[in-house]
Amino acid sequence: MANEALHHVQLRRGDVGRYVLLPGDPGRCELIAASFDDARLIAHNREYRTYTGTLLGEPVSVTSTGIGCPSTAIAVEELIACGADTFIRVGTSGGMQPDLVAGDLAIITGAIRDEGTTAHYMPAEFPAVADPDVVAALRAAARRTGCVAHCGIAHSKDSFYGQHQPQRMPVADQLLERWKAWRMGGAICSEMEAAAIFVLGSIYRVRTGGVMLIAANQERDEPVRTVVHDLHGVIATAVEALRILIDADRTARRSI
């Protein structure tokens, strides 16, 4: 790197902590950073906005990824080059099982690779899975914050409208058939970034996870679809998970 700012995120080594939260929307970064101590804006270029602060005295950051796996993969690649090694996706999703209520959280253990980016990294047979320590930290964090949370597989897709308006697509039959298969297989939510984060985590040996707000659920039998926009629970859970990981990492270092 020669300590030059990386092209897309415009960050250098030392600009971010090893722990990074990854929302999609740049507009959510400031809201998340408000939960850090002494947070300040480090860089903003294209869809990538980064704040760095501290938790428990440890440097932590939040970087937006934009929508979808292509821009997310760029962010994760460049954040790893800057020294980050623990990533938690924080965002919104659509529920896929009828028992999930809008406002619940989905803690993602793995992702269906129904997108194109990860095919440029690994063959289709390779799974996109979260780090078990990050999943455990998120589960413990949800208990502490009092949020209702479900653990399971996410569906990572490339087309928002392919999910929400499949009937107007030329490949409608294929989209509907595959959606039915994902649901029958037990996928709990649909989103657009987790697969890339998890596959890159495996390749580069870094820790990854994800916690998503179930903003709405098209599979529930409701006369009027409930939509939840309040992000405080999902943000609080992600930040608390970072505290748990920081404590665990410090304990592990002391035991060596």
- From the list 73, 33, 76, the residue with the least C-alpha distance to 51 is 33
What three-state secondary structure class fits 202? helix
| DSSP structural state of residue 27 | G
| Residue 225 neighbours by CB distance under 10 Å | 10
Could you say which residues of the chain have pLDDT below 70?
A: 1-2, 256
Report the C-alpha gap between 45 and 50 in whole angstroms.
9
- The reported pLDDT for the residue numbered 223 is 85
Residue 72 C-alpha from the chain's centroid: 10
Task: Report whether 208 contacts 110 (CB < 8 A).
Answer: no
Report the C-alpha gap between 109 and 152 in whole angstroms.
5
The pLDDT tens digits of the residues spanning 112-146 come to: 999 999 999 999 999 999 999 999 999 999 999 99
Query: Which residues is 37 bridged to in the sheet?
Result: 54
Q: Which domains does the chain have, with CATH numbers?
A: 19-255 (3.40.50.1580)
- From the list 166, 167, 147, the residue with the least C-alpha distance to 157 is 166
Can you read off the two tokens belonging to residue 229? 């926009």
- The reported pLDDT for the residue numbered 256 is 64
